[in-house]
Structure 1
Amino acid sequence: MSEQLPERPDREHPIVAGLVALVGVAVVVGLVLGLLVYAGSRVLGLGGDGGGDSTSADRSLYLPTPSETPTASGPQITLAPEESSSGGGHPGGPSKSPSASKSSDKEISLSSSTTSAGPMQQFNLTGVYPGGEGAILTVQRRQDGSWQNFPATGSVSGETFQIPVQTSQPGVNKFRVVDSDSKLQSNVVKVTIG
């Protein structure tokens, strides 16, 4: 009289039931991850269809069409501020006045980190050169009545410059910097060595 209970299918094949459950969980996890990746790519603008148009409008690099620049009339040379201020009393003073007004537009302002230093003690020639971004400046020293190139150069970055200098020449040394391309000269600074 033994009554036999009907067997349930999951008891018959527990491995098959486990595999079906595993596949079901994998499908659900895959769908959730797929939706997350899709939503993330849309937020970041990585979509292939309409996303490209919106990011191209946000680009910051713009290259204008090249055009010919107008040529300036008059001399292409600017004079140092000290020369333009003393040029009024010399013959030919009126011819220097257009250059003097040009140099006021673009001027190199020079200063020194010190007014006195010991022999071969390093000091800095610093300054501001508005509109001179990337210009190479050559240091000059007044020697024997004329300006001589000094073995120190620097470049303008962010419209400022700093050039380290060392000299053993005793006494008052006069320095200036000159733009290698435009030949524009700065004001003169004095440093006493010794």
Structure 2
Amino acid sequence: MVDRDERVERPVLSGLVALVAVALTVGLILGVVALGATRVAGLGGDQRSGSTTAEESMYLPKPVKTGAPSEPLITLVPQPSETSNPAPPEPTKTKRPKKRISLSASQTAVSAMEQIDLTGVYPRGEGAVLQVQRFTDGAWRDFPVTVSVSDETFATYVQTSQPGQNRFRVVDTDSGLTSNEVRVTIG
């Protein structure tokens, strides 16, 4: 017979009880920390229930009839005697900017076949196709470069080996509107 005072060791049961005790302690600590964090962050909300009371609802007073005023409260047209200038002011017209093409060249002198950057602004010319032209033999002739207008601006480049001063411009292929000319010396 086994004496009651004699203890029987059961290592698996002891380990299991210790594991449950540690898990409960860690869970309790994590729960308290999470609860504190939600209150600090304002996620916990009020202690009240989700229903509103009469004090918290919006109050709209009942409509009450008022007496009719003897004169109108709003005067839409002033009386001639009330103003020093009986004629209404003339509406002013705002001029829209002229539709003109402004061209500029980044370089004024380059070597033969060096890139010449042409940039410009074309107000209200969105989507227009511009043809680059060069002044040759007393007339403007198409240069083999076109550029499209986007956000009222355009940019392209040309290359030429024609020595001396070259004059360039762009022309709107639809309207025929031309830009100012730019001069670049090649050589």
| Greater percentage in helix | 1
Larger Rg, first or second structure (1 or 2): 2
- TM (norm. structure 2) is 0.49
- TM (norm. structure 1) is 0.47
